[in-house]
Structure 1
């Protein structure tokens, strides 16, 4: 028996070595046959300008950058080079190549910042750069400190009563703001106030007063406008020669002014909350509680005060440009697909009868979760996930060297019949187990990213959206009289057009 086991083990080891050798040989052949990096296709590049002339001449429009990406994919194929000035980016449109990049990234993936302007601002103000702008061991230090609080479902569920309270107030706000026929405009501002109010309750465990009128609401409104201007200026500077890095240009000065307001006001929230926590600690009124977001961060000895502040402000402010637009797009999809809305309403009303939504109820809403996922397909919140290659890789037949900045732009495929059956239709059931109408590539629709650099606020965002949409559908039937399809515009991320109006018909 022992001899048989040894023989079996030897055979297994030999088989593994043969497979490993074959894999090595196969990959060596792929490397040897790969086309050089210099042959990666793309538009004609000019000295200094690179491909910026395409945007300056109006061939492509910065606010329609997502449409430019689709055109690049159509003209040049699944791997395209684009140079904005002296900065080279490889656009990766093929989900198989996306998979190759993810599988090769290791423990410490390297990224380029989503907003280079924000990173430059923080450096000039000597502010912690934050998770999205850091790499290597410094990024890993911050990530390790927050992942338990931000990524474990049980920790996120602690804040469900807060989310319920803000969502309920948002429903009241809609009733107050709608006119005689139930129409509500200014959706971005209203959704942004909801997002800040909800995130503020999580971060600071106190209400900001964004729905209350007076000075408190004025301050929240000013923060919303500051954030909007920051992203607009960042977009315009992205598609310009980087003179702002040498001397302050008008657009850069505008961005700095709005950053100072947003960061300064947000810092005041953090400072006041930490001061309140310290007072409670001196009075021994906190006890064993560690669920409070800032108490948890303060308990981490490897986090500086600056680290804590930027982590809290990121969770607080990031929803303005991600969660709020997704809420609006979800409302539009439900309003323009009445059969989907009716099915979602039936699911919600079968488990919810009033009061607060619980995690048990959320777990019984698979169709609502599918609605949200289908919204991400039809109206993605961004155009790319950034990676800097840490090793040479063969992507779509080209040898792309380590150090190359790649943007994973698989969102251009979301409306492709190659990957989705009936892509033009809003079909949440394609994401339901047992009802799937297509075998979706696992590296195609990943709006929050995956693995170690997945969005740390993902669970908070999903919880916010499900609760708010569920309460909204329980209280209102949504309608939209818009004749043409909803368009998005690019401001570093993607936003629905500001003119959208939704009609809220009370179900009571």
Structure 2
């Protein structure tokens, strides 16, 4: 006898509700284990050793299940909008805004993503190359005058300059107030959402309002001048919604703020990790320089030059494996479901872990070692199992700007290797602070200088 569909579904729900919750601890009332999560870089490692690859905790006021490994990634990414929906900690969701791509879901997310993807197509990316090179040279020359510098905050200014110029057509170099507001807004993202004026979150809320005012001025100015720019802002200004209406100013502001954040925060982390890991591995640095010397480039870098840099590609992939800029991602459970014999209750948060996936010894040989050759054709370790290499996430919410990020990293690295050298200042603390994105505790102090001097450097200038 055939069981009716509804009865079968009810039986399925009943069966899942009888499954055990994953092992773990929910910690203290309200705050759970949030403070340990924010402060302890080994939070996931300790619990994985104790409970295995799936365990429960409580983060940012929500009961949460942490799922580690390639199989967990595959399950979460494939069940998007069925069992799971995007979920950010409340502080992040509020500060990014309800109309930003990062917080949108369902069909509205799909239509906006399709629209914005035009800014990251191959033709658009190729058009960004000259500006990325020019901004890189400008910052390199400035850093050269310092001789010794604290690099991380300088890299933050560099990535913000590129994001502003190429995504919204704004020259942020001389707008120190915009930069200060942006930095204080970023500092409040992964905090407890306490709306008091002296808290990081309270200060960030104030900065968000001031940033949105500045962004609105940019939008109105572009509209008055006549929009002819094919950057992300230009695409948004020209776009229509499902009813043929232009996007509202309120949505435009949230979308632009989100793009600037996405094109800035994680890239700064990735570039600082690149500079740190190359300085700590002189043989790999020397091999990377040799590749650059073999690529004949009398003028500006072209896409054809970049395609020849296969070893640099491996280095960049290994940087993103060993210190992924994003530690993981939150989802909310739409309906009770099951993974590996455990119940994942409706309404609970789920957190997948990128860094733990990238340290899986069954996939990566000596995972703690910096070995770019693991991505060579003969080893190709990341190809052994789907979703084992996920620095940009996966599924329908995979990072929209990943090709933009890879291009920026490659241009920065190529030009840096061709013309400059850097050494770590002794005695500094290079332990990584992980929240909101990984960075050395003492902000990466280096001695920075030109290799060839002005005459040789001019040979590779655009």
TM-score range, shorter chain: 0.7 to 0.9
- Is 1:51 the counterpart of 2:32? The answer is yes
Aligned CA distance change for structure 1 residues 162 and 407 (closer, same or farther; 3 Å) = same
Q: Deviations over 1:13-67 (max 9, x none)?
A: xxxxxxxxxxxxxxxxx99998955431002645x34733x84xxxx36222x41
Pick the aligned partner of 2:307 from 343, 363, 369: 363
Pick the aligned partner of 2:109 from 139, 143, 147: 139
Report the secondary structure of 1:334's partner residue: helix
Partner of 1:452: 396
The whole-number CA distance in structure 2 between the counterparts of 1:220 and 1:38 is 50
Runs of 4+, deviation exceeding 6 Å:
30-35
- 8 Å CA contact retained: 1:92, 1:408: yes
- 8 Å CA contact retained: 2:95, 2:204: no
Pick the aligned partner of 1:197 from 141, 150, 161: 161
Pick the aligned partner of 2:21 from 34, 39, 46: 39
Aligned 1:276-355 pairs, distance under 5 A: 276-280=222-226, 286=228, 291-302=230-241, 303-355=247-299
Question: RMSD over aligned Cα, in angstroms?
Answer: 3.0
Pick the aligned partner of 1:207 from 143, 167, 171: 171
C-alpha deviation, 1:81, in angstroms: 0.3
Pick the aligned partner of 1:218 from 159, 176, 180: 176
Aligned 1:361-400 pairs, distance under 5 A: 361-400=305-344
Pick the aligned partner of 2:201 from 234, 238, 255: 255
Aligned CA distance change for structure 1 residues 429 and 274 (closer, same or farther; 3 Å) = farther
Aligned 1:6-85 pairs, distance under 5 A: 36-43=18-25, 45-46=27-28, 48-49=29-30, 51-52=32-33, 55=35, 60=36, 62-64=38-40, 66-84=41-59
Partner of 1:91: 66
Aligned CA distance change for structure 1 residues 452 and 438 (closer, same or farther; 3 Å) = closer
The whole-number CA distance in structure 2 between the counterparts of 1:80 and 1:174 is 46
- 8 Å CA contact retained: 2:115, 2:235: no
Q: Deviations over 1:287-308 (max 9, x none)?
A: xxx6233222111111222222
C-alpha deviation, 1:86, in angstroms: 4.8
Pick the aligned partner of 2:130 from 161, 176, 188: 161
Partner of 2:6: none
- Report the count of equivalent residues: 437
- 8 Å CA contact retained: 2:419, 2:450: yes
Aligned CA distance change for structure 1 residues 228 and 391 (closer, same or farther; 3 Å) = closer
Partner of 2:455: none
C-alpha deviation, 1:362, in angstroms: 1.4
Report the secondary structure of 2:285's partner residue: helix
C-alpha deviation, 1:325, in angstroms: 1.3
Greater CA drift, 338-347 or 221-230: 221-230
The whole-number CA distance in structure 1 between the counterparts of 2:309 and 2:221 is 40
Aligned CA distance change for structure 1 residues 50 and 376 (closer, same or farther; 3 Å) = same
Aligned CA distance change for structure 1 residues 99 and 67 (closer, same or farther; 3 Å) = same
- 8 Å CA contact retained: 1:267, 1:313: no
* Larger radius of gyration between Structure 1 and Structure 2: 1
The whole-number CA distance in structure 1 between the counterparts of 2:61 and 2:181 is 34
Q: TM-score, normalised by structure 2?
A: 0.84
C-alpha deviation, 1:164, in angstroms: 1.3
The whole-number CA distance in structure 2 between the counterparts of 1:206 and 1:62 is 34
Pick the aligned partner of 2:359 from 401, 406, 415: 415
Aligned CA distance change for structure 1 residues 503 and 220 (closer, same or farther; 3 Å) = farther
Q: Structure 1: where are the runs of 5+ without partners?
A: 1-29, 210-215
The whole-number CA distance in structure 2 between the counterparts of 1:202 and 1:373 is 24
Aligned CA distance change for structure 1 residues 484 and 441 (closer, same or farther; 3 Å) = farther
- 8 Å CA contact retained: 1:227, 1:258: yes
- 8 Å CA contact retained: 2:432, 2:438: yes
The whole-number CA distance in structure 2 between the counterparts of 1:482 and 1:414 is 29
- 8 Å CA contact retained: 1:322, 1:381: yes
Greater CA drift, 267-276 or 132-141: 267-276
Report the secondary structure of 2:312's partner residue: helix
C-alpha deviation, 1:227, in angstroms: 3.7
Report the secondary structure of 1:446's partner residue: coil
Q: Deviations over 1:356-397 (max 9, x none)?
A: 221111111122122111111221212212223445543222
Aligned CA distance change for structure 1 residues 203 and 452 (closer, same or farther; 3 Å) = same
